[in-house]
Amino acid sequence: MPLGALLLLLLVVWAVTNVSFSWTPASAPAENRQQTRQALIEQAKSRAPSVIDYGRLDDRFRRLSAENSMVGLAVGIVENGEITFLKGYGETVAGSGDPVTPQTVFRWASVSKGVAGDMVAKLAGEGKLALSDPIAQHSTSLRLPGGREQQASVADVLAHTLGIFGHANDSKLEDGTDPRWLRAELATLNQICPVGQCHSYQNVAYDAASEVVERATGMPYREAVRQRLFLPLGMTSATLTREGLLASPSWAQPHRGGKNSKPVEVTQPYYSVAAAGGVNSSIKDLAIWMQAQMGLDPDVLPQSVLNAVQTPRIATAGERRRMRNYGERLTAASYGLGWRIYEYAGHKIVTHRGGVTGYRAVIMFDPAKKSGVVALWNSSTNRPGGLEFEVMDMIYQLERKDWLKLDNGRPATVEAPEPDAVTDSGP
């Protein structure tokens, strides 16, 4: 080889091996991701003072958890990007004396749907699929009336706009039937509206998202979520199996009743549709998850992914009717991809609720203010409904309302079960 050519080759090799890049990939070291998150938190804190009265909230959460309908409760708050409140109340098992702590693991139930929405949108952002793709390209089991799986998109699955009646085949899932078979059986149903034209909440059909992820990544859904989301975010308690819950050092056992009840069995069915309702974690890890939804972990969840899942796809008029007790605050409701979007006193908030026998969960936050609240509890009561509104009112410095109905001397009337519920036991 001529000397000039050899020198040129050596120069190219040196350049390739010594070049440095300014961007940080999703697989960046945890230290780099933590530095990025902390820098973004400091930016958010510098723009706004603290406005939350944590002493008042702590007192109200104590009073709530003392009611007979409650067993254990965990609450986390993020203000200006920073986790500012993590606390457990009550017990993991009624009468046990074992306290709920920020490390106690609960089930997320339908709050898990946001994980699937984020995971699929992340893969779309990497060019591994398109949200507009027909779901038939990526799911081997989902069938819809009239072959509409060729028309319905991946986004239609995640937005619950498949045009079939709500909670289709949930009861058969609860009886232990294979969800893949149940997804194929959806073809025998009647279509209630054209694909993409109405919102009708699903669990069995929604779990087609797990097949989308598996096809795009070549690994099981649970493993893909663990490697691509939970571990990079530092969510060390988060799992997607019944075994993962039971193996947790501290976990809250489910109760259908309150302080005078005994725990019930943790059942398998909704772990079998992991994209719809399979996540377990502590309140600390749910708070970390909420931080990521605020754009504080762009190396793991870029803003483009968050925009995709947090943009309204379909109006949900029924949601406003169900939330009529909070109508003074909520003026619009819609659904994105695994997430609900509300207009709250003129602000955009992102939220979801979930329930499975013996557990309830809620997440609500303002992505612009990088502030919000998460809560988990281990009884089937919806009594804590309103907790999230008390926090958001403080964030927006609105007139205080007794949304928890603690100040009239008697427990509030409990509304019907949460409409987002992934439920083992029916309505």
Tens digit of pLDDT at every position of the chain (427 positions): 555 554 444 443 443 333 332 333 445 677 888 888 889 889 888 888 999 999 999 999 999 999 999 999 999 999 999 999 999 999 999 999 999 999 999 999 999 999 999 999 999 999 999 999 999 999 999 999 999 999 999 999 999 999 999 999 999 999 999 999 999 999 999 999 999 999 999 999 999 999 999 999 999 999 999 999 999 999 999 999 999 999 999 999 999 999 999 999 999 999 999 999 999 999 999 999 999 999 999 999 999 999 999 999 999 989 989 999 999 999 999 999 999 999 999 999 999 999 999 999 999 999 999 999 999 999 999 999 999 999 999 999 999 999 999 997 655 444 444 444 564 333 2
How many Å apart are CA 316 and CA 419, to the nearest integer? 12
* Residue 8: per-residue pLDDT: 45
Q: Report phi then psi at 333, rounded to 5.
A: -145, 140
Domains located in the chain, CATH noted: 30-395 (3.40.710.10)
Q: Report phi then psi at 382, rounded to 5.
A: -100, 15
Q: Are strands 340-344 and 280-282 parallel, antiparallel or unpaired?
A: unpaired
The neighbouring-strand residues paired with 363 are 352, 374
* Residue 26: per-residue pLDDT: 47
Output the CA torsion 101→90→379→387 (10° steps): -80
* Residue 4: per-residue pLDDT: 53
* Residue 34: per-residue pLDDT: 85
* Residue 30: per-residue pLDDT: 77
Tokens standing for residue 316: 């949900």
Tokens standing for residue 216: 């795009």
How many Å apart are CA 74 and CA 100, to the nearest integer? 7
* Residue 28: per-residue pLDDT: 61
* Residue 31: per-residue pLDDT: 82
Q: Report phi then psi at 90, rounded to 5.
A: 75, -155
Residue 76's H or E segment, with its range, is: strand 72-79
Of 16, 3, 26, the residue nearest 228 (C-alpha): 26
- State the greatest distance between any 2 C-alpha atoms of the chain, in Å, as a whole number: 93
* Residue 44: per-residue pLDDT: 86
* Residue 133: per-residue pLDDT: 98
* Residue 329: per-residue pLDDT: 95
| Residue 53: Cβ within 10 Å count | 13
Query: Cβ contacts of residue 377 below 8 Å, gap of 6+?
Result: 70, 71, 72, 73, 74, 106, 252, 359, 360, 361, 384
Angle between helices 208-217 and 113-125 (to 10 degrees): 40
Q: What's the 3-state SS for 215-265?
A: HHHCCCHHHHHHHHHHHHHCCCCCECCHHHHHCCCCECCCECCCCCCCECC
